[in-house]
């Protein structure tokens, strides 16, 4: 069973009013994410060790193996973007009560969480991701990863939110202003309802 590009959980122009244009989604979902899926399926076709494995299994078995680096990069990016589309919402930015209580308990305040997340997202040199993660100690933390890696591969915990900071994710709408893209995500675009659902299912 080949991996497939998931449909967006909203219309292609649904995020235009909150900082992500239809053009960005058309390229990012329709071209970039599709390319990762196509490449991953090509690798699976040629490698019996990958056939029949779930996406999580392929991420974990290719992690850290030099000869499987192209597999890891594309599987990781497929995993990351599946989460990313769900982490965005046309009605984003509003933090529901249970998650807010948890954020205040673990970071001190919502503002402190946003500052910490922004520091990770802006501080990731080059391409990568910033994450809100539930660690194995039961506490929320913010992390970053390079290129296609993620909290599944690093073992840092369960991802509640992920923000793509590859230039293809913000260059059409924010040009080189990554800090503005990150602030817009935290204040207007982030689907904290999804993050809270991830927290409750952990
Ligand atoms: Mn991307």
* Cα 108 to ligand 1 centre (Å): 31
CA distance 199 to 89: 17
Reduced to 3 states (helix: H, G, I; strand: E, B; else coil), residue 13 is coil
| pLDDT tens-digit series, residues 55-102 | 999 999 999 999 999 999 999 999 999 999 999 999 999 999 999 999
* Cα 43 to ligand 1 centre (Å): 20
The residue whose two tokens read 């494995």 is 53
Instruction: Please answer whether residues 150 and 159 qualify as being in contact, where contact means their C-beta atoms are separated by less than 8 angstroms.
Output: yes
H or E element that contains 193: helix 192-200
* Cα 99 to ligand 1 centre (Å): 26
In this prediction, residue 126 carries a pLDDT of 97
* Cα 152 to ligand 1 centre (Å): 17
Closest CA to 163 of 188, 131, 193: 131
* Cα 33 to ligand 1 centre (Å): 7
The number of beta carbons lying within 10 Å of the beta carbon of residue 32 is: 15
In this prediction, residue 45 carries a pLDDT of 97
The number of beta carbons lying within 10 Å of the beta carbon of residue 64 is: 11
* Cα 142 to ligand 1 centre (Å): 19
* Cα 164 to ligand 1 centre (Å): 6
CA distances from 100 to 74, 105, 158 (A): 33, 8, 17
* Cα 166 to ligand 1 centre (Å): 6
Instruction: Enter the tokens of residue 3.
Output: 């991996």
* Cα 104 to ligand 1 centre (Å): 29
Give the relative orientation of helices 110-123 and 97-107 as an angle to the nearest 10 degrees. Answer: 70
pTM of the model: 0.98
* Cα 105 to ligand 1 centre (Å): 31
| pLDDT tens-digit series, residues 156-174 | 999 999 999 999 999 999 9
Confidence of residue 1 (pLDDT cuts 50, 70, 90): confident
């Amino acid at each position: 069973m080949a991996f497939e590009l998931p449909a967006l959980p909203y219309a292609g122009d649904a995020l235009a009013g909150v900082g992500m244009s239809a053009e960005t989604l058309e390229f990012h979902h329709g071209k970039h994410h599709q390319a990762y899926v196509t490449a991953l399926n090509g690798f699976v076709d040629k490698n019996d060790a990958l056939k029949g494995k779930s996406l999580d299994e392929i991420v974990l078995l290719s992690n850290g193996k030099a000869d499987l680096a192209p597999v890891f990069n594309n599987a990781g990016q497929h995993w990351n973007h599946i989460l990313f589309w769900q982490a965005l919402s046309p009605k984003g930015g509003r933090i529901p009560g249970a998650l807010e209580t948890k954020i205040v308990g673990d970071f001190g305040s919502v503002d402190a969480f946003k500052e910490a997340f922004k520091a990770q997202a802006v501080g990731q040199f080059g391409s990568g991701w910033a994450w809100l993660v539930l660690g194995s100690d039961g506490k929320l933390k913010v992390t970053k990863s390079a290129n296609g890696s993620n909290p599944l591969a690093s073992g840092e915990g369960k991802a509640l939110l992920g923000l793509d900071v590859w230039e293809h994710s913000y260059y059409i709408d924010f040009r080189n202003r990554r800090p503005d893209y990150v602030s817009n995500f935290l204040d207007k675009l982030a689907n904290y309802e999804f993050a809270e659902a991830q927290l409750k299912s952990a």
